Structure 1
Amino acid sequence: MIRQGAAMLDSPSVWLPANLAEAWELKQRLGLNACFVAGGTLLQTQWQKGFECPRHLISLEKINEMRGCEKNNHNGEASTRIGALTTLAACKDDPSLLKNIPLIEEAIRTIAAPAVRNRATIGGNIAGGFGDLIPALIALDASLSLYDGGKTEIKSLSDCIGQSGGTILTAIYVPENRILGQKRYFYKKLGFREAFTPSIVTISGCCKLNSQNEVEYIRLVAGGGTTPYQRLSCCEKLVEGLTLSNELLTTLFQAIREEFHTTTDPFTTADYKKTVAANMIVSKIASFAG
């Protein structure tokens, strides 16, 4: 591993491990005084807000196995593996992702400016807990590959929401959708006018209707800003198997307001966020009914 000495007394030391094992060993040794870093865009915004800089930065940029997009077979199902160090710009422009997983490209277009997307990584967007890609990836039933120093474990992203760190996110697996044409995906972000501010509410989801407009499959996700992303499982169970109607959509609207947990902040009230999330989701699903 390589350590780059700090030119300024108050600057952190930057470590460049060559592999996952080295990166893990460094974190165990340096403890709370160190953090992992990839593109560094999230850390930069935190420092600008006055957060204390860690004494040691463990850069993962030399670990090549954490880069790139490729077809893969996970749990017997065809999937796309996206290395956690792959930049958002690379994901947005990857021909395979554009063709097979257009929802990712749609979500990335809402994230910051092109210069930021050239540095920011998909892993960093997820690891921060509030990244705009999270709801889209949950709607896609994505899984995370997590390294704990001894083994790599793959967990559903929706199961990882709200869990503390302690592992290294190495890759994201998105199952290949063999019936993509029958499933309709959606993503919408409501933000402030000012650049580089968190969203007010971001929603994403997936819905499959049969010829009778019965809901055969559904995923609903909401969050954004300072509100952690939440899969609205109760709302999904409420409508699955039923025929879309104005009455059902009205019931779904109220159910989203009840299940979506958020808080009032200096800019918007919790009630406003609940109403916005419910409006955006119901509007999208209603448009699928034709």
Structure 2
Amino acid sequence: MTSQATGYLANTPLILGMMRLLDHPQLHAPKTLAAWIESQLERGLDVFDHADIYGDGECERLFGEALAAYPGLRDKIRIVTKTGIVLAHQDTSQWQTKHYRAEAKHVSGAIDRALGRLRVEQVDTFLIHRPDPLMDAEPVARVLEEAVSAGKVRHIGVSNFRPEQWRWLQKNTDLPLVCNQAELSLTHAEPLFDGTHEAQLSDRLRWLAWSPLGGGKLAGHLPEDLLETAREHTGLSETSLAIAWISQIPGQPIPVLGSMNDDRIKAALEGCNSVLPRTLWFALLEAVRGRRVP
């Protein structure tokens, strides 16, 4: 069997999340954003993560304007995007409630709308953003297959799915689900102990790990003396330690970094290229969990 590390998104150390693009108005001009994308490519980072709810589609639109202004970038990057969540303020019904829409018609339209906003003919990976208890898997699978056949989408996957949820979708299509984008960090390590991690390895889904820094609150979960000792021993910052901890897990989950801060990206990349002593890996986990390994 082919190793997870040599399959989907092989040799990709880090994915750059575009969820907070609206928080960086200095990057909104197409020329400026294109230059920022180019600078990430120079670092070896060519995968950018989007979703239709990020900025109500505005993040995709701004990214697409940059690609349109500098079309040479399109062939150098890979885009992951998602659909399936409708936020309360987006609900046009009388109920005004957040809900999920993993419906064939909605997914089909979402793919076309994403391509339009991003100004591309194909996205590398299209994900169902959340498991929808009302999802009729067979027609959704057909829509995804049609998008791949038409060249609109290269790969399909899921996000935040549990094993039996992704397996049900997989049973309805001959196309492989290549990934599950799900939360993983030192502060959210439960999937490593409840069988989810092994299920992803067994089913050959690459783990795209969102919130790898625990929402930026890692320092509040780790004793300062442990952090200081870890820094002295490894030379790594708090951010680098958190990313190195994830990158060491079998199957090599790929962190999806939500920050667009340059120093944070540098530190994350340093973590991707570092190996922690096994005992330090467990010491960090133990400290965050607040209890010893059984």
After TM superposition, the score normalised by the length of structure 2 is 0.23
Indicate the structure with greater helix content: 2
Indicate the structure with greater strand content: 1
Q: Which structure ranks higher in relative contact order (CA pairs < 8 Å, sequence separation ≥ 6)?
A: 2
